[in-house]
């Protein structure tokens, strides 16, 4: 079995160690005996979304975000078709800004985004910066990570997580992220998969079975990640779990 991962704009959207998600996936999928091929692509490359099983994009500066969008927007029809067909997307940090209708900047400039989803993005003067605790309502599991964003979504009809603790919660935000079919998007960074082994395990299982529903998945060795998660959670959020 083979899984092909497109790591988009590895050189532009690469803040906060989010490449750790790539390393995590490669390590744990290969432990299942799966051949993992990573295609690192940037603005000088052609992108064939039908060729990949999973597309990953991460956080970047505002300038690099605009560069990536300028290159990506010509593929918006192909991206929408890939999402509707059930291709997997893991989008973290402000990369999720690109998949809405438009991005409104503080200087008054507005740019068209990919228009895949109905939400609009507005840049805020005050950033959301804090460790955060979310709830995955589909699995009723806690998700931890770090927020560092100035983007505010409006008209978001497909949230991924419920916000429990963090600067976002203090500002009154109830929900966060994007989940539609097999598209997973969140501002939460950390990296997401490394810090949340339960979420990562289910994500990998679903990805594998979407390619081969008869694949015999062995137990993932996530002891190290689970221990780190539990120690962090018990230190910071133990009262919530009681």
* Digit-coded pLDDT (tens) for 60-81: 998 999 999 999 999 999 999 9
pLDDT at 171: 83
User: What pLDDT was estimated at residue 242?
Assistant: 52
Tokens of 219: 């137990």
Q: What is the mean pLDDT of residues 207-220?
A: 97
Mean residue pLDDT of the chain comes to 94
Q: Give the confidence band of 238 by pLDDT, cuts at 50, 70, 90.
A: confident
Residue 16 has pLDDT above 90, yes or no: no
Judged against a pLDDT cut of 70, whether residue 139 lies above it is answered with yes
| Helix, strand or coil, per DSSP, at residue 40 | strand
Query: Considering only CA atoms, which of 204, 198, 176, 181 is closest in space to residue 92?
Result: 176
Burial of 93 (0-12, 13-18, 19+ CB in 10 A): buried
Confidence grade of residue 224 (pLDDT, cut at 50, 70, 90)? very high
Q: How far apart are CA 55 and CA 10, in angstroms?
A: 12
Structural domains of the chain, count: 1
Give the percent of the chain with pLDDT over 90: 81
Domain range for 147 is 2-241
Measured CA to CA, the distance from residue 151 to residue 43 in angstroms comes to 23
Quote the pLDDT of residue 241: 61
Task: Say how far apart CA 133 and CA 147 lie, in whole Å.
Answer: 10
- Report the pLDDT averaged over residues 216-242: 91
DSSP for 82-146 reads HHHTT-EEEEEGGGGGGGSSEEE-TTS-EEE---SSS-EEEEEEEEEEEEEEEEETTTTEEEEEE
Q: Give 80-111 pLDDT, tens digit per residue.
A: 999 999 999 999 999 999 999 999 988 888 99
CATH number at residue 99: 3.40.50.880
pTM for the model stands at 0.96
């Amino acid at each position: 079995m083979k899984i092909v991962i497109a790591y988009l704009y590895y050189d532009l959207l690469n803040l906060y160690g989010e490449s750790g998600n790539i390393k995590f996936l490669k390590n744990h999928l290969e432990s299942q005996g799966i051949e993992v091929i990573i295609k690192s692509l940037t603005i000088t490359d052609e992108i064939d979304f039908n060729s990949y099983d999973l597309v990953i994009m991460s956080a970047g500066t505002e300038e690099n975000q605009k560069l990536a969008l300028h290159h990506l927007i010509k593929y918006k029809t192909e991206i929408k078709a890939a999402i509707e067909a059930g291709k997997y997307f893991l989008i973290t940090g402000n990369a999720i800004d690109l998949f809405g209708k438009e991005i409104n900047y503080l200087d008054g400039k507005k740019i068209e985004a990919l228009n895949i989803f109905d939400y609009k993005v507005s840049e805020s003067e005050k950033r959301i910066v804090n460790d955060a605790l979310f709830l995955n309502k589909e699995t009723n599991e806690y998700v931890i990570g770090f927020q560092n964003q100035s983007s505010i979504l409006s008209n978001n009809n497909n949230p991924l997580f419920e916000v429990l603790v963090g600067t976002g919660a203090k500002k009154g935000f109830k929900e966060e992220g994007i989940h539609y079919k097999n598209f997973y998007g969140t501002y939460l960074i950390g990296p997401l998969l490394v810090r949340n082994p339960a979420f990562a395990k289910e994500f990998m299982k679903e990805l594998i079975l979407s390619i081969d529903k008869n694949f015999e998945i062995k137990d993932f060795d996530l002891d190290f990640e689970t221990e780190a998660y539990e120690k962090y959670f018990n230190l910071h959020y133990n009262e919530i779990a009681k």
